[in-house]
Chains A and B, each alone.
Chain A
């Protein structure tokens, strides 16, 4: 039977130390607290002493608390019955449904063999030009939304989730406000998507340690669905809360911090989760969309910084818009060569010109005279912001590309755009032909073909 220990030697924060033998690393234990029984996990073994991280926190634990080791690591049930349900960070029901015990699977499992991954090839359409045209989302991508608190990142997450064609939606909430949890639940329900969703929710009111478990539980379930051939979308909000929970434990364990109090393994910890995004060669896929709030709107803060080094790009949400600068989809080139031949050119040209517009704005604010070129840029920047960047715009990729040409032709002569002459010939709107005739004579295309 399970042996029970009652010698608690140390209680600090959420970590308790007991004298115990025959305990294995990462094993689970049950510990009795004044408020009931909590799960705890072994996080260090040292000369007969065992450190346990208590899921419900250290509060209310007495020095003679009973600790019972369970002989297994953290597990989560997996079955179709999860769909439509809501759980907390330790996997207990949060809705009024029954608890599920069948088919337990370990969490935080090994990583996928790179030899069994394939190059992702499927675009995820969102109807948002700043994503579809400029930073195309790709199935199996891992991508966070970088944002300051107060931006509409959760509505954006929900909107992408509902518009994407996926089989299963998993929501992992960390330090979520209760209102936000209700928003997700109600939105999914209203759109009829709840029955293909599972939620693992840790709210700001719940114990910190449970926050740490949310990504692992969510991704373990995602992995099982993906192995069944399902296309899974995982939403993780907010990963900064997860990182802060890591920091809290590290400090309790007296680890030497590397940067602003965060532990030196922050990169590896985040990567272990984000790298669960995958396209299997003979099964389904996992796409991860996360939220990383940036303390003080500072991308060099350790959490967004480490995240950026791990994920395959990021959407930079600011003033309710996805910024063209700082936003990036690293997988876009895997799909945007097969959408439409002008896709890449529109993407590059419009952003380069928008960068020039920003410079002009700066000059204008300094009170400098605006040249003819500056006036063109000002007109362009205005249209770009209104008709492309605004998050209320909801049009398919092809329409957005057409709109791009329309805006360019309305504001510039063809050669001012730097677009290859071949594409100008094919795509420059004919209504602007008069302007276009200023262009240099057509190059020797005949010779090339």
Chain B
């Protein structure tokens, strides 16, 4: 087939209008040619003889009459061994290799293979001649770091295939053919270590979807105990700037109890990605004893990188997440920030002169967001094992106001909501997740009734605090005042957590269960005090001791003696009348 070439008739920012003659496909990839450079683009609208394309690069220098080469392929990700530990841009180019090639700056029009082509992997066949396989079923495995990486029948192959030929155990490169398979109707195809998959289409090569029920521990107390996340579930973290969304995600990427973490830095600061990519190789994953980087993959399209690639970056990330899920692994995808991707949609929609919805976001925003979160989930694979993709996205609402379209569209589809509050972050009550506004539909790691008790006390404490603003401390009964102090105590020693303290930063589920039980006992203890000042002094001492307790290593002598001290303090004031 001869090349399909069109020519540019208009340039408006990163949107180009192209006149074409041969058929073009919606969402196909094309390259705009300027001098020596070929700029990757995607068809986003077709009208008559004209196609409109978003260019994933800076369009400076493009002219009327410049050629555009259509490829006939949708935007796709390379899937295969060698993805983990990598740092990609939004179009899956490895950034360190780009740096070797182009130096300090990202030069446009440079595209590299996502998977190393020269590296050999030891393939062990798990199928033999005559075996029947369908898309997503295993042909063999290669070790990739700490994982057994499954090489599967490409997800796009329909029907039942019979293994005609499969290579013996040995070293192969990603592009080497490892098996020949024959379709029921006679077609023969070759499978390689790697395959490609169009990023905007979910991978569905599994037996069935299951409901997310298993808790995913993040080791952040307010999340695991109060607003839990489930494996295969979805959650969002909206919050005004500086409230702690990114810090929460960074903590989660370190401590979450999952096999693989994919960090999608979408339209945010480059510096934040640098922290992850420089620090993770030095940190040890307590689950495996290996470097944290071995279970991590970073996709970054930071705020000054081409805007159109922001959208590509979240889809590339979720596609890779689904790919590892197909191996029976639990994958966590952290997207920071989904608002930047929504804004990229808005910019493009504006250039297309579509009729704007609220705050000029396009009318289809809601369905795009829903479809994205829908790619999270637990699935039963064809071999009976299960895998999951959990999606956690931050939202950056304009003016910190949750009534805006991106937050609202997201809240409709996620299973948990961790709303960050400016008030709490101003007071340095970190993590600034609002304990009264947030919610989760998932099951946590701690006794649900006790949690319900604690939430009740938080609510009552808040009521008293509001009331005190009107009637003052003197107008408040000592009983109410103690409820208020208990709520503050719970907040200070359990909801708040010091992200930068080596012990306090991560509380495993077991410790949460243990500590929460004790805190709950304190909350449930009827207490008697002489006066309010006495009550306040008591709680100040108790809070300080309990904070020291949080900082003591689990099971250490210090831990035990502080626990004893808290218990003694509790019995001192208990009112057994």
Residues on A lying within 8 angstroms of B by beta carbon are 21-27, 44-48, 73, 109-120, 140, 227, 255-259, 263-265, 267-268, 271-272, 275-276, 278, 280, 283, 300, 302, 305, 308-310, 312-314, 325-326, 328, 330-331, 333, 337, 344, 348, 351-352, 355, 362-363, 366-369, 371-373, 415-416, 418-421, 440, 443-445, 447-448
For the complex of A and B, 7 pairs with smallest distance between CB atoms: A368-B472, A300-B399, A271-B303, A275-B304, A308-B241, A111-B304, A447-B557
Q: Which A residues are in CB contact (< 8 Å) with B545?
A: 440, 443
Beta-carbon contact of B63 and A22 below 8 Å? yes
Q: How far is the CA of A224 from the CA of B556 in the complex (A)?
A: 54
Q: Is residue B277 contacting chain A, with contact meaning CB distance below 8 A?
A: yes
Q: Is residue B12 contacting chain A, with contact meaning CB distance below 8 A?
A: yes
Q: How far is the CA of A227 from the CA of B104 in the complex (A)?
A: 9
**30 residue pairs A–B, Cβ–Cβ below 8 Å:** A22-B65, A25-B62, A26-B60, A44-B11, A44-B13, A45-B63, A46-B17, A113-B106, A115-B95, A258-B359, A259-B359, A264-B350, A265-B307, A265-B343, A268-B267, A272-B304, A280-B104, A300-B398, A313-B242, A326-B426, A330-B242, A337-B500, A371-B536, A372-B533, A418-B540, A421-B544, A440-B544, A443-B561, A444-B558, A447-B556
Q: Is residue B436 contacting chain A, with contact meaning CB distance below 8 A?
A: no
Q: Is residue B543 contacting chain A, with contact meaning CB distance below 8 A?
A: yes
Q: What's the minimum C-beta distance from B94 to chain A, rounded to whole angstroms?
A: 9
Residues of B within 8 A of A (CB-CB), count = 89
Q: Which B residues are in CB contact (< 8 Å) with A344?
A: 500
Beta-carbon contact of B87 and A333 below 8 Å? no
Q: What's the minimum C-beta distance from B274 to chain A, rounded to whole angstroms?
A: 5
Q: Which A residues are in CB contact (< 8 Å) with B469?
A: 362-363, 366
> Which among B154-162, B180-188, B383-391, B547-555 touches the partner chain?
B547-555
Q: What's the minimum C-beta distance from B56 to chain A, rounded to whole angstroms?
A: 13
* Chain B 355-382 per-residue mask, 1 if CB under 8 angstroms from chain A, else 0: 0100111000000000000000000000
In this complex, what residue of B is CB-closest to A359?
A: B469
Q: What's the minimum C-beta distance from B454 to chain A, rounded to whole angstroms?
A: 21
Q: Which B residues are in CB contact (< 8 Å) with A444?
A: 557-558, 561-562
Beta-carbon contact of B270 and A117 below 8 Å? yes
Q: How far is the CA of A17 from the CA of B558 in the complex (A)?
A: 76
Q: Which B residues are in CB contact (< 8 Å) with A111?
A: 105-106, 270, 302, 304-305
Contact of B60 among A25, A328, A362 (CB under 8 A): A25
Beta-carbon contact of A312 and B269 below 8 Å? yes
Contacts A275-B302, A363-B472; A268 near B241 (Cβ below 8 A) = no
Beta-carbon contact of A255 and B350 below 8 Å? yes
Residues on B lying within 8 angstroms of A by beta carbon are 9-13, 17, 34, 58-65, 87, 95-96, 98-99, 102-108, 240-242, 267, 269-271, 273-275, 277-279, 300, 302-305, 307, 340, 343, 346-347, 350, 353, 356, 359-361, 396, 398-401, 426-428, 469, 472-474, 492, 500, 532-533, 536-537, 540-541, 543-545, 547-548, 551-552, 556-558, 561-562, 565
In this complex, what residue of A is CB-closest to B298?
A: A114
In this complex, what residue of A is CB-closest to B473?
A: A371
Contact of B532 among A367, A371, A416 (CB under 8 A): A371
Q: How far is the CA of A447 from the CA of B555 in the complex (A)?
A: 12
Beta-carbon contact of A448 and B552 below 8 Å? yes
In the complex, besides A44-B12, A363-B473, A443-B562, 16 extra interface pairs with C-beta distance below 8 angstroms are: A26-B61, A47-B9, A110-B58, A111-B270, A119-B278, A120-B271, A263-B350, A268-B347, A283-B104, A308-B242, A331-B271, A369-B472, A373-B533, A416-B540, A443-B545, A447-B556
Q: Which A residues are in CB contact (< 8 Å) with B540?
A: 415-416, 418
In this complex, what residue of A is CB-closest to B105?
A: A110
Q: What's the minimum C-beta distance from A275 to chain B, rounded to whole angstroms?
A: 4
Beta-carbon contact of B278 and A118 below 8 Å? yes
Q: Which A residues are in CB contact (< 8 Å) with B346?
A: 258, 264
Beta-carbon contact of A115 and B399 below 8 Å? no
Q: Which A residues are in CB contact (< 8 Å) with B17?
A: 46
Q: What's the minimum C-beta distance from A56 to chain B, rounded to whole angstroms?
A: 22
Q: How far is the CA of A151 from the CA of B279 in the complex (A)?
A: 40
